Chains A and B, each alone.
Chain A
Amino acid sequence: MPSLAKVVLPTGILMAALAVLPMFSSGYHVSFTIQVFMWIALAGSWNIISGLTGYVSFGHVAFFGVGAYTSALLITKAGWHWLPAGLAGCGPAALLALLIGYPCLRLKGPYFAIAMLGLNEVVRALVSYFEGLTGGGSGISLPPINATVPVYYAMGATALAVVVTTYLIINSRFGLRLISIREDEIAAETMGIDTARMKLYAFLISAAFPGIVGGFYAWYASHIEPMGVFPLITTITMIIMCLFGGAGTVLGPVIGATLLSIMQELVWARFLFVHQAIFGALIIGVVLLMPRGILGVARQYFRLPRTV
């Protein structure tokens, strides 16, 4: 076991550095870090359902989009402050997760993945259809934001909350039950675990956070539209960030999201026309060469606790 000081100290320094970053850096750094926070929260919440139970949520961006629309509507139509409006994004996101998860989590393996694969498209179509409320394809314009720093802290807190939640889950009986579902669901059932209920709980938690992230995103982006907040590629990015760092771990999504965001910013941006192809190749590489991610590789060389 690593000593407390060895973990707490650098973590504390990192947190303190991130907390004061906006005071010493430009708007661009703040924007970039907001994006990293956003991806940490998204990859981390995907990890809660899919990393832990093995049930692949291919429609996770739907919860993000629903959260974005919830907060945009609360801000523009009900006059809410952006902070409670963003937080409120978790409600409808969790509700959607309940609606879709209650029946679909009964589906085994690939069928759950197929069912989830269409979810974002359907929610997008519904959002477009009810244009009286949502503005349809034109989307919703929010008032311009005059300060990004509050969003920075809100998004950072959300990312932190996801990481802490994951840590707590992994170190609880609940977490062990989820992992037992991933390893062998039938055996888990035989041991008396109410797998349907466990999966549903995990799914709800996993969907609520993207709702909040989406909620803050809507405020940050000042304008949302169906095509912009429901793209499949967002789900894929969450998944690949999580896998790259190490699925089913606490820090995997953090590492994956941070590294890939930095790579995206520094390296891929210089290869204008091939960056998407690089992304495709990266997915192939991660799946084939390091399916357990960076932490999985690190585990071969260092002794890391299970709860990292």
Chain B
Amino acid sequence: MVHITGTMVLQVVVSGLLVGGLYALVALGLSLVFGVMRVINIAHGTFLMLGAYVTYWLFALAGLNPFLSILISVPVLFVVGALIQRLFVFRVVNAPELSSLLLTFGISILLANLAMLAWTSDYRSVEFLTGSFIVKNIAISKPRSIAFALALAITAIAFLFLHRTKIGKAIRATSQNREVAEVCGINVRRIDLITFGLGAALAGAGGSLVSVMFAVYPEMGQVYVFKSFLVIVLGGAGNYPGAFFGGLLLGVIEGLSSLFLTAQLTEVVSYVLLVALLLLRPQGLLGGRT
């Protein structure tokens, strides 16, 4: 029988926090897109996958440091996101949510399968850094802690961008009230374009960071979509800082439920939490346009 000790709990909490930083980063992108356009972007996980492949190929072919490759995956995914917005998504911005859900689902199937055709469904990994620092019996994984620090930094930059720049302020204004923003002279079509690009870029950055921890393959992004919803709901968002804490919280909750129950029930715990929060705190969700 396993006796769960304080050290074990602490270890799981630490690992959970480290992964949680990544969840926060990925969820932030989804939250932005939903806030501004009311589009539930199922393809978000696919952008994460593309970001991971950018890092993988730069590492495999050119030996580029995977953490540095974020500087490339972010702009690449921004362009991909903006293109997809311009070609497809803008048509469903004001349509019923089924349209945007299905459209982005279609995009995600298409992109994941194109990735499979181009790069096969083989699992790949970026074996850049392994092992961990041991602090008082607690192992702190090297790749995870660096990924965590970078996720934190990117999230902070995104916050600064949203609060300090003119475009950032316009994005937040559009998210608060699209009609009023438009009346105030904000070009919401342009804001949509930038926001979608930004959302994809954040997912891409997340993908670069995921690639140093977990396997890279065309369908790797799927799990992150649902996790991101959960993060947004946990954070009581609209509220972008909330999404950040939601991410950390989710990482810890996942770890603890797997530790105290079993790995199989982790998803059940997350789901019950999601539904309960949706029901009990619906007003706290995703910015106030209800």
Contact present between A and B (CB < 8 A): yes
Residues of A within 8 A of B (CB): 50, 54, 56, 58, 100, 103-104, 106-111, 113-115, 117-119, 121-122, 125-126, 128-129, 236, 239-240, 243, 273-274, 276-277, 279-284, 286-288, 291
User: A106 vs B279: C-alpha distance in the bound complex, in angstroms?
Assistant: 8
B110 touches A280 (CB 8 A): yes
B113 touches A125 (CB 8 A): no
Within B107-150, the residues touching A (CB, 8 Å) are 107-114, 116-117
A303 to chain B, nearest CB (A): 26
Contact partner of A283 among B109, B266, B282, CB < 8 A?
Answer: B109
User: A236 vs B279: C-alpha distance in the bound complex, in angstroms?
Assistant: 25
Specify which chain A residues have a CB less than 8 angstroms from the CB of B267 in the assembled complex. Answer: 118, 121-122, 125
Q: How large is the interface on B (under 10, 10 to 19, 20 to 34, 35 or more residues)?
A: 35 or more
Q: Assess whether B288 is interfacial by the CB under 8 Å rule.
A: no
B110 to chain A, nearest CB (A): 3
A239 touches B102 (CB 8 A): yes
Specify which chain B residues have a CB less than 8 angstroms from the CB of A122 in the assembled complex. Answer: 267-268, 271-272
A291 touches B282 (CB 8 A): no
Q: Assess whether B96 is interfacial by the CB under 8 Å rule.
A: yes
Q: Is the interface of A mostly helix, strand, loop or mixed?
A: helix
A114 touches B40 (CB 8 A): yes
User: A114 vs B233: C-alpha distance in the bound complex, in angstroms?
Assistant: 10
Specify which chain A residues have a CB less than 8 angstroms from the CB of B189 in the assembled complex. Answer: none
Specify which chain B residues have a CB less than 8 angstroms from the CB of A286 in the assembled complex. Answer: 102
Specify which chain A residues have a CB less than 8 angstroms from the CB of B229 in the assembled complex. Answer: 114, 117-118
- With contacts A118-B226, A277-B114, A277-B117 known, is A283 near B262, CB below 8 A? no
- With contacts A56-B101, A239-B102, A277-B113 known, is A128 near B264, CB below 8 A? yes
Specify which chain A residues have a CB less than 8 angstroms from the CB of B264 in the assembled complex. Answer: 125, 128-129
Contact partner of A113 among B101, B109, B268, CB < 8 A?
Answer: B101
Most chain A C-beta atoms within 10 Å of own C-beta, residue among B113, B266, B272: B113
Q: Which B-chain residue is minimally distant from A130 (CB atoms)?
A: B264
Q: Assess whether B275 is interfacial by the CB under 8 Å rule.
A: yes
Q: Is the interface of B mostly helix, strand, loop or mixed?
A: helix
Q: Assess whether B99 is interfacial by the CB under 8 Å rule.
A: yes
B275 touches A115 (CB 8 A): yes
B108 to chain A, nearest CB (A): 7
A283 touches B278 (CB 8 A): no
Most chain A C-beta atoms within 10 Å of own C-beta, residue among B38, B109, B279: B109
Q: Assess whether B169 is interfacial by the CB under 8 Å rule.
A: no
- With contacts A126-B268, A287-B99 known, is A111 near B106, CB below 8 A? no
User: A178 vs B117: C-alpha distance in the bound complex, in angstroms?
Assistant: 43
User: A197 vs B278: C-alpha distance in the bound complex, in angstroms?
Assistant: 20
User: A281 vs B110: C-alpha distance in the bound complex, in angstroms?
Assistant: 6
B103 touches A288 (CB 8 A): yes
B101 touches A279 (CB 8 A): no
A243 touches B102 (CB 8 A): yes
Specify which chain A residues have a CB less than 8 angstroms from the CB of B278 in the assembled complex. Answer: 104, 107, 111, 114-115
Contact partner of A108 among B40, B92, B290, CB < 8 A?
Answer: B290
B106 touches A281 (CB 8 A): yes
User: A284 vs B104: C-alpha distance in the bound complex, in angstroms?
Assistant: 8
Within B74-112, the residues touching A (CB, 8 Å) are 88, 91-92, 95-99, 101-103, 105-112
User: A122 vs B117: C-alpha distance in the bound complex, in angstroms?
Assistant: 31
B73 to chain A, nearest CB (A): 23
Q: Which A-chain residue is minimally distant from B114 (CB atoms)?
A: A277
User: A287 vs B43: C-alpha distance in the bound complex, in angstroms?
Assistant: 15
B188 to chain A, nearest CB (A): 19
